[in-house]
């Protein structure tokens, strides 16, 4: 057996005279170290005179390493700025230290991605996790990115949104045991981590507010029917109608996933009809914009002919149309909750403890500043 430059045992082909006088205790100690390269366990092993294994275990605070040794190793590691090589860890253990955010490319329409990414990274910043954004285009391909992640082991945890009552992604992830969290709930009897906005309550409170303003013929701009929060929002809307005695005006042909132009045109028709509502609940902030446009094209005016309550993930409406009563959906906070939940799931916390609902509240008007 001969030794190569850095002390690993070489091939078994004999070469006379190459066996050095090194005793076994220092057999695989690194003999040379690359110069300006980043430090590895080998570097620390060299500096401390310990074996690579020992260093690895010391940094992991393993029970079979002496207290003083651990201290020494930690000190050196810190001094030279050691950071474990992610590829090494990943190859050996399968741990990727990656959280994957799975997005529809179409999701940007709602402008939701941005604060969400910020919220997630705020949490991940304090952890070894990186955020990888994984997109998919067509709705039918929703499973594709999930399969990719499962097949290639691309992430330790996944964040998905736009959940459906029976969501195949949730089924697949659960079956394969990959930790995940959903933005939105499901109804398939699977207990899993989620964060959601309480859309039932939003719609209910919206109806209450509109009725308090004397409005009785209400319309709802709803989510697309296949998403879970469609039924939440509808349920809240209808409960409100019952409790506060108002009537629904039908507007089912249109939903928040339609283009602004479509929403506007459909709403203009409605507002010109005999069936025109006098109160609007808008399930999305951008949808509200289109509704306002349609309303104005029908020569109606907010506050006078009609009042409106809208969900709003941004400040635009409040600034430009203070007449619209808004309930703020804080996507950034949602991102934070989602990140905490996936990590919790990865760490083995029970799913029941990783579920949260954010309660809608009406926003105060913008402060009027200097002089009112």
| Binding residues for DNA (CB under 7 A) | 4-6, 8-11, 24-29, 37-38, 40-42, 49-54, 56-60, 64-69, 84-85, 87-89, 91-93
Shortest CB 328 distance to a second copy, Å: 15
Nearer to DNA, 27 or 272 (CB): 27
Residues 8-67 that bind a second copy (CB under 8 A): 9, 11-12, 38
| Cα maximum dimension of the chain | 103
Q: Which stretch binds a second copy (CB under 8 A): 27-35, 61-69, 260-268, 344-352?
A: 260-268
User: Taking CB within 5 to 8 Å according to partner kind, which of a second copy, DNA, none is near residue 143?
Assistant: none
**Residue nearer to a second copy on the CB measure, 28 or 186:** 28
Task: Answer with the entry of DNA, a second copy, none that 60 interacts with (C-beta below 5 to 8 A by kind).
Answer: DNA
* Interface pick for a second copy out of 260, 302, 351, 357 (rule CB under 8 A): 260
Closest CA to 87 of 40, 35, 33: 40
How far apart CA 158 and CA 61 sit, in angstroms, is: 29
Binding residues with a second copy: total (CB under 8 A): 64
Distance CA 348, CA 368 (A): 48
Binding of a second copy by 264 (CB under 8 A): yes
Q: Any contact of residue 321 with a second copy (CB under 8 A)?
A: yes
Contact with a second copy (CB under 8 A) among 114, 231, 355, 363: 114
Instruction: Kindly tell me which residue out of 32, 64, 87, 352 binds a second copy, with binding defined by CB under 8 A.
Output: 87
Residue 32 site contact among a second copy, DNA, none (CB < 5 to 8 Å, cut-off depends on kind): none
């Amino acid at each position: 057996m001969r030794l190569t430059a850095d002390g690993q045992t070489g091939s078994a082909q004999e070469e006379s005279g190459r066996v050095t006088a090194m005793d076994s205790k220092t057999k695989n100690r690194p003999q040379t170290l690359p110069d300006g390269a980043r430090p590895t366990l080998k570097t620390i092993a060299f500096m401390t005179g310990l074996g690579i294994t020992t260093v690895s275990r010391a940094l992991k605070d393993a029970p079979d390493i002496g207290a003083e040794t651990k201290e020494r190793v930690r000190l050196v590691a810190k001094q030279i700025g050691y950071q474990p090589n992610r590829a090494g860890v990943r190859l050996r253990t399968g741990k990727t230290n990656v959280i994957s955010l799975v997005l529809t490319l179409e999701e940007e329409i709602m402008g939701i991605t941005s604060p969400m990414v910020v919220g997630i990274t705020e949490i991940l910043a304090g952890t070894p996790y990186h955020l990888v954004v994984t997109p998919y285009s067509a709705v039918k391909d929703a499973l594709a990115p999930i399969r990719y992640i499962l097949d290639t082991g691309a992430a330790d945890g996944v964040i998905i949104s736009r959940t459906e009552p029976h969501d195949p992604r949730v089924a697949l992830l659960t079956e394969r045991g990959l930790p995940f969290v959903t933005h939105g709930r499901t109804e398939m009897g699977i207990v899993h981590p989620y964060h959601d906005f309480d859309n039932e309550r939003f719609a209910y409170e919206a109806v209450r507010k509109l009725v308090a303003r004397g409005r009785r013929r209400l319309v709802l701009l709803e989510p697309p029917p296949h998403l879970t929060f469609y039924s939440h929002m509808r349920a809240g809307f209808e409960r409100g109608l019952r409790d506060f005695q108002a009537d629904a005006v039908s507007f089912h042909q249109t939903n928040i996933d339609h283009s602004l132009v479509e929403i506007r045109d459909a709403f203009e028709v409605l507002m010109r009809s005999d069936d025109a509502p006098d109160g609007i609940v808008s399930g999305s902030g951008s949808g509200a914009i289109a509704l306002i446009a349609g309303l104005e094209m029908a020569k109606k005016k907010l506050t006078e002919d009609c009042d409106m309550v809208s969900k709003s993930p941004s400040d635009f409406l409040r600034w430009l149309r203070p007449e619209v009563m808004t309930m703020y959906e804080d996507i950034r906070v949602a991102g934070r909750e989602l990140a905490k939940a996936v990590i919790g799931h990865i760490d083995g916390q029970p799913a029941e403890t990783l579920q949260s609902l954010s309660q809608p509240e009406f926003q105060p008007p913008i402060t009027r500043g200097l002089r009112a």
